[in-house]
Structure 1
């Protein structure tokens, strides 16, 4: 386990002798993605849009892929997961690496003004046009895509099964161990927990309002933003975990559910994706045959 992007990362492979090679592959891919889309690096590609004045910008294939994933995600979630919330996130004080604001009170620096929605961003091959004043934040999909791509790269390069975990985003590729990949689902040591077994080639993503929290002028805020208001979501669910065939799909579903609240739970039910929702009171609700093997926590549970 190691720290990257302000979160815990880990990798497990079915060939123990390949673990160091797996870590090298992952580190290289994460550096490439960070250089493309980090909001906190002065030399990242995404910062180029700040001075483009709404003019088209030619970007790398990596950033184009990240933006395409974000725009596709916005379309799939009907705008609940919107990559044009960057200005809102900055207005909330999340304008630097999270370690620099965690546990601190951050003053209001700017007033949030509604920005154009994701449909205002144009992507033509590797040419991207972002309206002047609009700031992209790809965090909702970039981490999940990174998990998917890292797992695929390790499995293909080393001919093994692999599980990659980046914070709450878990992707697998290749053959799983006998009995599947055993994953602990728990959002903090004091939260209800489950262990689940997932087959190779599937993913789990968790979206949470319990982590990445800070205060702004004495008011608690968190990183999941409602695009309609530009403020932290007043969440019905403190944690949502979803299983899917890719980490991107799982993360889109879990994040959209938190943004939409009870309506989001109904949407999840209709998707058929297995999901585990924890409400404000710590009550766990399971949807669509969530694959619980054994409850290892003390939280209350409701069907």
Structure 2
């Protein structure tokens, strides 16, 4: 019966003159709608008399769910002020898909609708992943101007897979609209559940909100932290340096390199890694490459012909800020 309905509904249908509302929200023609489990859902059909003098609502596919209707399924319902009304209550605790069909004596072809049955709390349906890892209970850390990928882990098989969902940022402190950007755009419904999030280069907090159309089902993450990438100052040879600019080390001289926090941040350790050696050699003290923040590194580039040109590279990373990395380029052409 369901296969027959799918084939016949491809053609234009008199039911296009009817309007379907679910919990007061209009359902577009042939769109899949959402019913919330464990609670009453108002189903309303408006149709001209030539389309439906009475309507019989049938459940042709229950998806293994308990679905109760009032008035009951498979009974003829008369209009009240031109509208046909039902209350549909799916059982609590189980999600899935069902198929409802509206029959009319005036129209030969029935009107079939697929529906998602889900919890009003999307946290019962999906787990939000950032970089493939669940957002922790105390929220996630975002580094300014660094893009992170948000995806979903489906908890009830693939019920929500390919369902239209939207992501939004709820700003809590220190941020203004536009400080958190997304591809696809925030609040835009998409069936591909993958978002690329980028925060502005500033400090603040925000939550992420996932929702269905009309916010029928929603969830929010814990409060996340956005931090500027300029949380440390680079001091080299006694002078504050701008990140990204070449450094010019005098040869044969002990030079101080230190990273100082720009604000009151958690104590962290940092790592110096030599990505490319100086052509004529160099030394770095202390020799252990993992040290507390504020450690003064002693850098000595040997004074020889090999170090009279070229460059060397040092990368700096921070334990508490895994997305933050400084690449220091030391230019020997001077």
TM above 0.5, yes or no, is: no
Pairwise TM-score range, normalised by the shorter structure: under 0.3
Q: Determine which structure has more spread, i.e. the larger CA radius of gyration.
A: 2
Structure with bigger strand share is: 2
Structure with bigger helix share is: 1
| Greater RCO (CA < 8 Å, at least 6 residues apart) | 1
